[in-house]
Amino acid sequence: MTNYANANNSQLDISSALDVEIQKKISSRTTELFNNQQQQVFERTDRLFAKLLIFQWLVGIGISIWLSPYAWKGSTIAVHLHIWAAVFLGGILVSLPLYLVYSRPGQPITRHSIAMAQMLFSGLLIHLSGGRLETHFHVFGSLAFLTFYRNWRVLITATAVVGLDHLIRGVFWPQSVFGVIAATNLRWLEHVGWVFFEDFFLILACLRSVSDMQGMANQNAQLEAINANIERKVKERTAQLDKKSDELVKKNGELDKKNFELADTVDQLKQSKEAMEKANKELLKSNVELAESHRRADRIFSALAEALPGKILDDKYRLDSKIGSGGFGAVYKATQLALNRPIAVKVFRPTEDNASAENLERFLLEGISTCRVNHPNAVSVLDSGISSDGIAYLVMELLEGWSLSTELTEKGKLPIQRCVDIIIPVCDVLAEAHQNGIIHRDIKPDNIFLHQPKEGEIIKVVDFGIAKLVDKDEKSTPSNLTGTGNLIGTPTYMAPERLSNKPYDGRSDVYSLGILLYQMLAGCVPFDDEYSGIIGLVMMHLKESPPPLTDFDDQIPKQLEQIVMKTLIKNPEERISAVELGQALKEFAISYLDHDTPDGTSEKSLDTTSSNRFRKRISEYIV
């Protein structure tokens, strides 16, 4: 038995080594195929631009002849200087790229030389037309053609040439590029800015195209490996069959030659048959085990996809009724059987959009993130795991009440006391989270719950499902778990540094909270995509300042407006932290309680009960 086990372990080690070797070959072949395909693209585009440059040269000469064929000096006529410029300058621009196309096709120096020549041709065309606006579009067309290389570095070279050309000629000869005798010193920046704007989208197209090429190369490499493996097995099987055939022919000859050995030959055949039957039984047993393994996996995913009321998880939690659902799962009102107490259970439900190990990891991360935020105003996670039948779940305290989103929908905007009463505990939760290396990343009205127990309202921050775990002294950077380049969160409440895919820390949550506080006070968010679309919304977050809160309500104190604006500073380094925001709101709340209203009465005299409750809560927060 020991020898048999050792033999099986040796076979597994050999199989694993072969798998690693095959993956290395596929990776190497993928790189080779991608490089070959990319080189073909470079060479093909080089040849295309060789023809295009010659065509542009001839067209440039034609345009110069058509626009101003002659120059007059008194009664003396001569060929206009523009024609000689088109002939000789164009010839100089064409000569080096053409030489490189046929001597060094597909090389970096060739395509960058072509990029410079193409942009200089644009500059020559603009010059020949006297700086007419229409000819500037030749620059944008040239950039589009350069994307045929599927290499974003070529666009950078071309843009640098355009910027340098506009800068130099704008200083010494502005009429040749802008069509005016005198131009502002920054006029060239306006032109280059539009070029950078187009570059942004062209570079994205280049990167996506290269990614597609790499995917195709990998698929082809895998197909080649599969074909090679099939051919190898066919050859091995053919050799085995040939060998057995030779043996049978030899045995038949021996049978014809020696009849007395017939019995021995039959016995040998029987032994061979028994060995084959034994091997077939072992193979059948392995197939049955493999099929059972697949069935178990199917049952797991089937269970993950259907979590129905009445189901009991791990003999501990009974799902009673569904109370909500989201992108990753559904929330059920449930009962903890051992204590017979109501709880909430969030169940991961895979769909076509999220059925991946990455999304399951993100779901389970919500429990880890929430547990690290030990605060009475954060929803409590009691348990988590994957049940015996494969259902991933989180057990949380059961909240009863409504979300801030519901209250805003019903009331539009909220009184100042109410706003501060809600936001201060949220600040405390975020401060605790940031201290423990947690960035919530989705602060919005839906994720602020107004819990209504018998002892009084408690503000709860919920849904740490897309929270980010980072070292508390470091900034977060994009990772695979946060979306492979995609933004995770709600753009209406997202900080500029996250929208521009830059490193961020807990102050991105403060920006989101500032948008929320602005909405509570004004009745609307400062930046809306209803008419501008998602691109317009992103640009407003990045560039525009929010309208003053007093435009919506002139009764909003200046001190409170200044606090809100400090949360909406574009530069995160200058933005206040969650701790600073909470402290500022507490100080404002204390002064606001005794603030006189325009009619001479104090604020607390307007509503004694709510004001006393407000003062009590502020005192508790300060303690």
pLDDT in tens, 505-538: 999 999 999 999 999 999 999 998 777 788 889 9
Residue-wise pLDDT for 589-599, tens only, equals 988 766 544 44
Residue-wise pLDDT for 340-380, tens only, equals 999 999 888 765 555 556 666 667 666 676 777 888 998 88
State which of 369, 396, 423 marks the end of a domain. Answer: 396
75, 60, 77: which is closest to 125 by C-alpha? 60
CA-CA-CA-CA dihedral for 358, 354, 342, 407, to nearest 10: 110
Residue 370 and residue 429 in one domain: no
State which of 378, 396, 414 marks the end of a domain. Answer: 396
Q: Examine residue 247 and state whether it is found in any structural domain, yes or no.
A: no
CATH number of the domain at 554, please.
1.10.510.10
Q: What is the pLDDT of residue 482?
A: 40
Least confident of 236-240, 408-412, 420-424: 236-240
Q: Is the pLDDT of residue 601 over 60?
A: no
> What mean pLDDT is predicted for residues 451-465?
88
In percent, the amount of the chain with pLDDT more than 90 equals 27
317, 324, 520, 272: which is closest to 414 by C-alpha? 520
Q: Which of 113 and 280 is assigned the larger pLDDT?
A: 113
Q: Which amino acid is at 301?
A: F
Q: What is the pLDDT of residue 350?
A: 65
Residue-wise pLDDT for 372-414, tens only, equals 788 899 888 888 888 887 888 889 899 999 999 999 999 999 9
Q: What is the pLDDT of residue 258?
A: 75
Helix (H) or strand (E) holding 526: none
Q: Examine residue 341 and state whether it is found in any structural domain, yes or no.
A: yes
Q: pTM above the 0.85 mark?
A: no
Contact 422, 448 (CB under 8 A): yes
Contact 148, 111 (CB under 8 A): no
Least confident of 89-93, 195-199, 385-389: 89-93
* Predicted confidence band of residue 12 (pLDDT cuts 50, 70, 90): very low
Most confident of 130-144, 180-194, 248-262, 502-516: 502-516
Residue 174 and residue 101 in one domain: yes
Residue 184 and residue 114 in one domain: yes
Residue 110 and residue 218 in one domain: yes
Residue of 46, 199, 428, 442 marked active site: 442
Domain count, the chain: 4
Beta strands in 432-479 (DSSP E): 438-439, 448-451, 458-461, 468-469
Taking each helix axis from N to C terminus, what angle separates 262-305 and 187-257, rounded to the nearest 10 degrees?
150
Residue 172 and residue 318 in one domain: no
Residue 87 and residue 192 in one domain: yes
Residue 364 and residue 424 in one domain: no
Sign, Cα dihedral of 302, 306, 312, 316: positive
Q: Please, where are the H alpha helices in 258-333?
A: 262-305
Residue 138 and residue 270 in one domain: no
Q: Which amino acid is at 76?
A: T
Q: Is the pLDDT of residue 65 over 70?
A: yes
Least confident of 532-536, 581-585, 602-606: 602-606
Residue 181 and residue 111 in one domain: yes
Q: Is 379 exposed, middle or buried (0-12, 13-18, 19+ CB in 10 A)?
A: buried
Q: How far apart are CA 603 and CA 89, in angstroms?
A: 79
Q: What is the pLDDT of residue 380?
A: 85
Contact 509, 576 (CB under 8 A): no
Q: How far apart are CA 309 and CA 330, in angstroms?
A: 11
Pairing of strands 392-396, 438-439: unpaired
CATH number of the domain at 388, please.
3.30.200.20
Q: Examine residue 441 and state whether it is found in any structural domain, yes or no.
A: yes
Which residue range is the domain that position 112 belongs to?
16-223
Q: Examine residue 232 and state whether it is found in any structural domain, yes or no.
A: no
Q: Examine residue 475 and state whether it is found in any structural domain, yes or no.
A: yes
Say whether 315 is catalytic: no
State which of 396, 421, 451 marks the end of a domain. Answer: 396
Q: How far apart are CA 583 and CA 621, in angstroms?
A: 10
Q: How far apart are CA 529 and CA 547, in angstroms?
A: 15
Q: Examine residue 68 and state whether it is found in any structural domain, yes or no.
A: yes
Q: Examine residue 572 and state whether it is found in any structural domain, yes or no.
A: yes
Residue 580 and residue 480 in one domain: yes
Residue 360 and residue 441 in one domain: no
Mean pLDDT of the chain: 79
Q: Examine residue 98 and state whether it is found in any structural domain, yes or no.
A: yes
Q: Please, where are the H alpha helices in 129-186?
A: 137-146, 152-172, 175-178
Q: Which of 605 and 527 is assigned the larger pLDDT?
A: 527
Residue 103 and residue 44 in one domain: yes
Q: Is the pLDDT of residue 30 over 60?
A: yes
